[in-house]
Structure 1
Amino acid sequence: MAIAVVKPSSWLENGIVVTKVNNLNFFKLTDELQARMQELVDGKQADSLTPEQAAELEAIGELIVIVTYMNGMIANEAQQSQENETWEQKLDKN
């Protein structure tokens, strides 16, 4: 029996949104995808997941790793940019 492989990229259009936090744009899972993940986690804890559901949960977990990595890169870039500002640039902001 072949198990359908779920790819994290299958949720790029409908599973991720961009949210603004302190003037930075971060990626996050949609409420619907977060709810689906919770359903799957609950199923795993109850030991009642089908192989297809287990593959789906694994793919969502991989997507979370990717989104977390990208958000870390965004935050790091913003921090470095802030640290590299000259004192004149900082005064101009005030």
Structure 2
Amino acid sequence: MVQPSSWVESGVKLSKVRDLHLFKFTDELQARLDDLAERKKAKDLTKAEAAELAGILELDRIFTLLNARVILEWKL
């Protein structure tokens, strides 16, 4: 797996949603995720691309949890 932290500097942004700042992928990283996911469905990924996809998906899971935590704390 490609380390999720490798995209933190260039593939992540904070987006203001209402009064919250949430973690989001940049348009470029989101497009790469979409492309890799589509190619996985078509069974057209190299091992390196599969490792890249795994890393991006792990980062997505991390940000989903962090964003949920931010929203929960904001509602309290």
Shared fold per TM-score greater than 0.5: yes
TM-score normalised to the size of structure 1?
A: 0.78
Structure 2 stretches lacking a partner, 5+ long: none
CA offset digits 1:23-77 (Å, max 9, x no partner): 1111101110000011101111111100100010010000000011110110010
Say whether 1:40 aligns with 2:39.
no
Percent identity of paired positions between Structure 1 and Structure 2: 46
Residue identity matched to 2:72: N
Q: How does 1:10-49 map to 2 (within 5 A)?
A: 10-49=6-45
Residue identity matched to 2:24: K
Runs of 4+ in 1 over 6 A off after TM superposition: none
Bigger CA radius of gyration: 1
Q: Select the structure with the greater relative contact order (CA < 8 A; seq sep ≥ 6).
A: 2
Structure 1 stretches lacking a partner, 5+ long: 81-94
- Larger proportion of helix: 2
